A = this chain, B = another copy of it.
Amino acid sequence: MKKRLNMAEQSMKANILTAALPYIQKYAGKIVVIKYGGNAMTNDELKQDVMSDIILLNQVGIKVVLVHGGGPEITGTMQAMGIESKFINGLRYTSEEAVKVVQMVLCGKTNKDLVKLICKSGGRAIGLCGLDGAMISTKKLEGQDDLGFVGDITAIDPTPILDIMNAGYIPVIAAVGVDDSGQVYNINADTAAAAIATSLKAENIILMTDIRGLMLDPEDPSSFISEAKVCELEAMIQDGVVTGGMIPKVRCCAYAVDGGVQKAFMIDGRIPHAILIEMFSDEGIGTMIHK
């Protein structure tokens, strides 16, 4: 015998599901690239929420691609293996030894753990990295300082991602690349996500962060910036509205939108189901960058 049912609750649930319909229709068949990182990746409960969101989006016909970097696991493994971390002007230097650990942890641990989690929740995922089908071509990142084996993306071949996606899987992609000589590089995951989104002609890119979004005054919640045009961003950097670690993130958004992605979102990954809330409400939860 089936259990009793709270009718009022059920009715409310049905109303909420029905209210999601226009958003589902809007995104159906579209590609959404999600850069996964921060607290949402370290907190187990948030992690499970993200996986649920992704499987739900995928199930209702939205083509989700998950891009991730590493995080504490890399540092932990390097420490455990006694590999010293070197810093150049405050930026981490990736030695030849280190890039091997990066590949091993990103592609073998972080990536496959995510794949496992999605599959365990009833989704179908396949874990890839920039080496699979040689899809992320890189060269050494040129800059003020020599950061070692940190890569600059020179080309993305979206074919393997599309093949995996069209066969019905959620592609989970670790941000490492390779050059013609076979040298592997560590790549910034935000940058990788933006390049992948552009190559896939994605509808949206969503960067998960650990802050609320852009604010005119970080102390004043009411100064939250819920949307901005690409053309306004550089001024916001000049004016000090966008600072520190948000600068490269904002530039990734601008890169993607300039490259044809319709909208870029920076959302607060600390909020449970942040992805679903952002995509399935008019108000959204984070800062939206558009043309």
Contact = CB atoms under 8 A, between A and B. Distances in A.
Give the interface residue-count category, chain A. Answer: 35 or more
A117 B183 CA distance: 11
B112 A109 contact: no
Question: By DSSP majority rule, is chain A's interface helix, strand, loop, or mixed?
Answer: helix
B59 A2 contact: no
A231 interface: no
Interface string A23-56: 0110010000000000000000000010011011
Interface of A: 1-5, 7, 10-22, 24-25, 28, 49, 52-53, 55-56, 59-61, 77, 80-82, 100, 103-109, 111-112, 115-117, 119-120, 122, 124-129, 131-134, 160, 163-164, 167-169, 178, 182, 184, 226-227, 271-273, 276-277, 280-285, 288
Contacts of A104: 77, 104-105, 108-109
Question: Which 9 pairs show the lowest CB-CB distances between chains A and B?
Answer: A108-B108, A14-B273, A5-B283, A119-B134, A104-B108, A107-B108, A163-B167, A80-B81, A14-B276
A139 to B, nearest CB: 15
Contacts of A178: 116, 119
Given A5-B283, A59-B60, A108-B103, A14 B131 contact: no
A18 B59 contact: no
